[in-house]
Chain A
Amino acid sequence: MIQDFLVLCLESYSVAVLIQTHIHMSKNWPLWEIFVRSKNGLEHRHFGSLHAADAEMALENARDVYTRRSEGVSIWVVESKNITASNPEHNGELFEPAQDKVYRHPTFYDLPDDVKHM
């Protein structure tokens, strides 16, 4: 009974606390980007970001925030400031030239049914 109640609380209050904590903590702790491999054989994918004082804490926090429902078998954390992002203003020159090059898609082959994750 009490377990159900706690689960309910845990699943429902997150948004409010998220906003509150981010205002509160962002002044102190750096932001980390979290990548989770959901099962062996698949790549790590970006799951979200969180605050932590260092890499070790980021790993533990990521474990608790992002893998509570068995979502992962491996976690990478990268401090957000170490990511170099492309500038949205350059989207035209970076990405638009690819739009009319349909021949770059491997859609002209028949994939065998047994090939997964393509």
Chain B
Amino acid sequence: MKHTHLYNYILGIADNSLILAQRLGELCGHGPTLETDIAGTNISLDLIGQARNYYQYAAKIKGEGKTEDGIAFLRLERDYKNVLLVEQPNEHFGYVMGRQYLFDVFHLLFMNQLLNSTDETLAAIAKKGIKEVSYHKRFSGDWVKRLGDGTQESNQKMQEAIDELWVYTDELFDQTEADKAMISEGIGIDTSKFKEVYYTEVSALLKEATLEVPERKYFIKGGKKGTHSEHMGYILAEMQYMQRTYPNMEW
């Protein structure tokens, strides 16, 4: 039973990175400029690298012939445990940066805590990833500021993006059964401890970007429990196509 919780806990972390990476990967070759295009794909590759480490560890725990590719590519939609935020579509560049920033702030706070996990593998993955995630946050945060404090049009688009995405932020702090079990064992991270820090930090940057902090009491959640938005099926159809069409294929 312990392993089931640990396995699910690891997937809960890894799936966020994988699905966000897939979303960013869709933009490879479609960025607004060469430089931002490369930056987005770099971030995507960082996240995939992290996800691979988690999946390799999950496969080892699970045994039963599981592999990282099998876990990443061959599950059904309801078995993915990523938050709804990361599966939201690439509406426009400001939207992509807003989504990224709202996740990055959480991600960095999370990784900083994961360093103290009693699980040595998870702590090691966090240690390796922290510098990457710090840069992600710097990059996305800078763009939210630029676009918020840019032209009237960029400000309006950025504000709309933040308003739309805000509804998914609360789920970042939602705790599943696996989360609670792992927190009690010192392996998992009690995200409620930095929820206030998260909103304070995000709000401060939004104000700096001359954007308004949404005042919203209602939030949407479900991804962590496998109830995804209508976008998820399309992401998986594209992401899983190769592995399902050519099982066990390698490059």
Determine whether the beta carbon of A10 is less than 8 Å from that of B52: no
Q: How far is the CA of A14 from the CA of B34 in the complex (A)?
A: 7
Q: Which residues of B contact A42 (CB under 8 A)?
A: none
**Mask for B170-214, Cβ within 8 A of A = 1, else 0?**
000000000000000000000000000000000000000000000
B124 at the interface (CB under 8 A from A): no
Determine whether the beta carbon of B48 is less than 8 Å from that of A3: yes
Closest CB in chain A relative to B96 CB, distance in Å: 15
- Identify which of residues 2-48 in chain A touch chain B, using a CB-to-CB cut-off of 8 Å: 2-7, 9-10, 13-14, 17-18, 21-22, 24-25, 29
Determine whether the beta carbon of A3 is less than 8 Å from that of B34: no
Closest CB in chain B relative to A59 CB, distance in Å: 10
Q: How far is the CA of A53 from the CA of B44 in the complex (A)?
A: 24
Determine whether the beta carbon of B41 is less than 8 Å from that of A1: no
Q: Which residues of B contact A56 (CB under 8 A)?
A: 142
* Interface of A: prevailing SS: helix
Q: Which residues of B contact A25 (CB under 8 A)?
A: 33
Closest CB in chain B relative to A86 CB, distance in Å: 29
Determine whether the beta carbon of B35 is less than 8 Å from that of A1: no
Closest CB in chain A relative to B146 CB, distance in Å: 7
Determine whether the beta carbon of B33 is less than 8 Å from that of A21: yes
Interface residues on A, range: 20 to 34
Using A3-B49, A3-B52, A14-B34 as known contacts, say yes or no to A60 and B25 having CB atoms under 8 A apart.
no
Determine whether the beta carbon of B29 is less than 8 Å from that of A50: no
Q: How far is the CA of A17 from the CA of B52 in the complex (A)?
A: 29
Determine whether the beta carbon of A1 is less than 8 Å from that of B42: no
Using A1-B242, A50-B34 as known contacts, say yes or no to A10 and B41 having CB atoms under 8 A apart.
yes
Which of B34, B39, B49 interacts with A17 by CB under 8 Å?
B34
Q: Which residues of B contact A3 (CB under 8 A)?
A: 45, 48-49, 52
Using A56-B142, A60-B39 as known contacts, say yes or no to A6 and B33 having CB atoms under 8 A apart.
no
Q: How far is the CA of A10 from the CA of B72 in the complex (A)?
A: 22
Determine whether the beta carbon of B35 is less than 8 Å from that of A10: no
- Identify which of residues 18-51 in chain B touch chain A, using a CB-to-CB cut-off of 8 Å: 21-22, 25, 28-29, 31, 33-39, 41-42, 44-45, 48-49
Q: How far is the CA of A14 from the CA of B120 in the complex (A)?
A: 39
Determine whether the beta carbon of A52 is less than 8 Å from that of B35: yes
Closest to B28 in A: A9
Among A2, A4, A14, A21, residue most surrounded by chain B Cβ atoms (within 10 Å): A2
Q: How far is the CA of A68 from the CA of B135 in the complex (A)?
A: 13
Q: Which residues of A contact B116 (CB under 8 A)?
A: none
Q: List 27 A-B contacts (CB under 8 A).
A: A1-B69, A1-B249, A1-B251, A2-B72, A2-B239, A3-B48, A4-B251, A5-B251, A6-B28, A6-B45, A9-B29, A9-B41, A10-B42, A17-B31, A17-B34, A18-B34, A21-B34, A21-B37, A25-B33, A50-B35, A52-B35, A60-B39, A63-B135, A64-B38, A65-B34, A65-B38, A68-B42
The 10 closest A-B pairs by CB, nearest first: A61-B35, A64-B39, A21-B34, A4-B251, A9-B28, A3-B48, A13-B29, A10-B41, A64-B38, A21-B33
A sample of 10 more A-B contacts (CB under 8 A), given A2-B22, A60-B39, is A1-B242, A1-B243, A3-B49, A6-B41, A6-B45, A10-B28, A10-B42, A13-B28, A57-B142, A64-B42
